[in-house]
Amino acid sequence: MSFFSRIFGQKAVAQPEGLIFVLRDIGAPLGDRDDAARDFAEFDAALPVLVEIALRPGEDEMLVDSCGESIAEIWQRTSGFDRATFDRLPLIAQSIIAGYFPEEACK
């Protein structure tokens, strides 16, 4: 059961608004924010929010890592590797994404 399901119940799982709220809330516990970033991998439309958090100056490295992993999982399911976005991300996120897209990341 995902973090989002535990907090908001099964019916709300299809609505990522709660995840967005938790992920953007710098006052929320880091573990909750990290769980939200990981759960966001299930929502293709969450890509812009994951990129936003990964690019936020001073964001915790664990959270940036989780955002990178969710970004990579979304790219695998959808349009694939996005060089322009990849190049903007912090090295922590890039290293995670490179594990999913080794050929594209090394170009």
* Stronger pLDDT, 104 or 33, i.e. the higher one: 33
- Give the count of domains, the chain: 1
- In this prediction, residue 12 carries a pLDDT of 43
Task: For residue 61, give every residue at least 6 positions away whose Cβ sits within 8 Å of its Cβ, in sequence order, or none.
Answer: 92
- Which of the four pLDDT bands, split at 50, 70 and 90, describes residue 11? very low
**For 20-49, what is each residue's pLDDT tens digit?**
889 999 999 999 999 999 999 999 889 999
Which domain, by its residues, includes 42? 3-105
In percent, how much of the chain has pLDDT > 90? Answer: 68
Average pLDDT over residues 76-86: 92
Helices and strands, number each (H, E), in the chain: 8, 0
